[in-house]
Amino acid sequence: MNRVLLTGNGAAAWGARLAEADYIPSFPITPQTEIIETLERWCTDGEMDGTVVTLESEHSMITAAAAAAATGVRVFTATSSQGLMYGMEMIYTVAGWRAPFVLVNVSRALATPVTLEPDHTDVLGARDSGFLQIHCATCQEVLDSVLIAYRLGEDARVRLPAIVNEDGFYLSFTREPVELPDPDAVRRFLPPFRSRGIEFRASRPISQAVAVLGSAPYSYFRYEAHLAALAALPAYDEAAAAFASEFGRRWPAVEAYRAEDAEIVYFMIGSFATKAKDAVDRLREAGRKIGLVRPRLLRPYPEGALRQHLLGKRAVIVIDQNLSMGKGGVLYAELASALYGRPGAPLLVSFVGALGGRDITAEEFYEMAKVARQAADAGVAPEPRLLYTAGELRELRTLQAIAGAERRTIT
Amino acid sequence: MERGVITRPDLVVVADETLVPIPAAGVLQGLSERTVLLLGSAERRETWQDRLKVPGPVLALPVSAQSGDHGVLAQIGASCAGAAARLLGVIRRESLARALQEEIAKFGSAAVAANLECALAAFDAMAPHAGLVAASAEIGAGDYRAPEWVDLPLEEAAVAAPDIHGALTSELAITGTWRTHMPVIDYERCNRCSWICSTFCPDSAIKVAADHTPRIDLDHCKGCLVCVAVCPPHAIRAVPEREAAREHSR
A positions 40-59 inside 8 Å of B (CB): none
With contacts defined as CB-CB under 8 Å, which chain A residues touch B148?
A: 389-391
B121 plus B20 within the same structural domain? yes
Give the mean pLDDT of B112-133: 94
- Let me know if residue B4 belongs to a domain: no
- Provide the whole-model pTM: 0.91
Tens of pLDDT, residues B152-189: 999 998 889 888 877 777 788 888 988 889 999 999 99
- Report the topology of domain A254-393: Rossmann fold (3.40.50)
Examine the fold and report which residue of B95, B110, B129 is the final residue of a domain before the chain moves on.
Answer: B129
Task: Judge whether A3-247 and A254-393 match in fold.
Answer: yes
The secondary element (H helix, E strand) that includes residue A153 is: helix A139-154
Cβ–Cβ gap A393/B139 under 8 Å: no
B116 plus B183 within the same structural domain? no
Cβ–Cβ gap B4/A278 under 8 Å: no
- Let me know if residue B117 belongs to a domain: yes
User: CA-nearest residue of chain B to A408?
Assistant: B159
Measured between alpha carbons, how far is A381 from A264 in angstroms, rounded to an integer? 13
CA distances B147 to A29, A273, A275, B144, Å, are 35, 19, 16, 9
**Omega prior to A274 cis, within 30 of 0:** no
Examine the fold and report which residue of B129, B161, B193 is the final residue of a domain before the chain moves on.
Answer: B129
Tell me if A386 sits within 8 A of A353, measured CB to CB: yes
User: Does B243 score more than 70 pLDDT?
Assistant: yes
Give how many domains chain B has, as a whole number.
Answer: 2
Cβ–Cβ gap A362/B139 under 8 Å: yes
Q: Which of B95, B99, B93 minimizes the C-alpha distance to B120?
A: B93
B106 plus B198 within the same structural domain? no
Cβ–Cβ gap B139/A405 under 8 Å: no
Instruction: Report which DSSP code applies to A381.
Output: P
B118 plus B219 within the same structural domain? no
With contacts defined as CB-CB under 8 Å, which chain B residues touch A386?
A: 151-152
- Report the topology of domain A3-247: Rossmann fold (3.40.50)
Tell me if A38 sits within 8 A of A9, measured CB to CB: yes
Question: Which among B1, B2, B163 is the top mutation candidate for probing chain A, defined by the most A β-carbons within 10 Å of its own β-carbon?
Answer: B2
Given the cut 0.85, state whether the ipTM is greater than it.
yes
Examine the fold and report which residue of B67, B95, B129 is the final residue of a domain before the chain moves on.
Answer: B129
A204 burial level (CB within 10 Å; 0-12, 13-18, 19+): exposed
**Which of B4, B163, B167 is facing A271, going by the closest CB pair?**
B4
Q: What is the CATH number of the domain that holds B211?
A: 3.30.70.20
The secondary element (H helix, E strand) that includes residue A305 is: helix A303-310
B18 plus B123 within the same structural domain? yes
With contacts defined as CB-CB under 8 Å, which chain B residues touch A279?
A: 141
B20 plus B113 within the same structural domain? yes
Would you say how long chain B is, in residues? 250
Query: Where in the sequence is the domain holding B91, given as residue range(s)?
Result: 11-129
B183 plus B108 within the same structural domain? no
Cβ–Cβ gap B159/A359 under 8 Å: no
B111 plus B184 within the same structural domain? no
Measured between alpha carbons, how far is A159 from A96 in angstroms, rounded to an integer? 10
Tens of pLDDT, residues B48-76: 999 999 999 999 987 644 444 555 567 88
Measured between alpha carbons, how far is A23 from A37 in angstroms, rounded to an integer? 14
Q: What is the CATH number of the domain that holds B120?
A: 3.40.920.10
- Let me know if residue B160 belongs to a domain: no
B120 plus B189 within the same structural domain? no
Alpha helix stretches (DSSP H) within B155-220: 157-160, 196-200
B118 plus B197 within the same structural domain? no
Per-residue pLDDT for chain A (411 aa), expressed as one digit of tens each?
A: 699 999 999 999 999 999 999 999 999 999 999 999 999 999 999 999 999 999 999 999 999 999 999 999 999 999 999 999 999 999 999 999 999 999 999 999 999 999 999 999 999 999 999 999 999 999 999 999 999 999 999 999 999 999 999 999 999 999 999 999 999 999 999 999 988 888 888 888 888 777 888 999 999 999 999 999 999 999 999 999 999 999 999 999 999 999 999 999 999 999 999 999 999 999 999 999 999 999 999 999 999 999 999 999 999 999 999 999 999 999 999 999 999 999 999 999 999 999 999 999 999 999 999 999 999 999 999 999 999 999 999 999 988 887 876 666 665
DSSP state letters, A32-81: THHHHHHHHHHHHHTSS--EEEE-SSHHHHHHHHHHHHTTT--BEEEE-H
Looking at B203-246, which runs of residues are DSSP E strands? 206-208, 214-216, 236-240
Tell me if B42 sits within 8 A of B74, measured CB to CB: no
B102 plus B20 within the same structural domain? yes
**Could you tell me which residues of chain B have a Cβ less than 8 Å from any Cβ in chain A?**
1-5, 7, 138-142, 144-152, 156, 158-159, 162-167, 169
With contacts defined as CB-CB under 8 Å, which chain A residues touch B164?
A: 403-404
User: CA-nearest residue of chain B to A371?
Assistant: B146
**Which of A283, A386, A391 is facing B152, going by the closest CB pair?**
A386
Domain ranges of chain A: 3-247, 254-393
With contacts defined as CB-CB under 8 Å, which chain B residues touch A385?
A: 149, 151
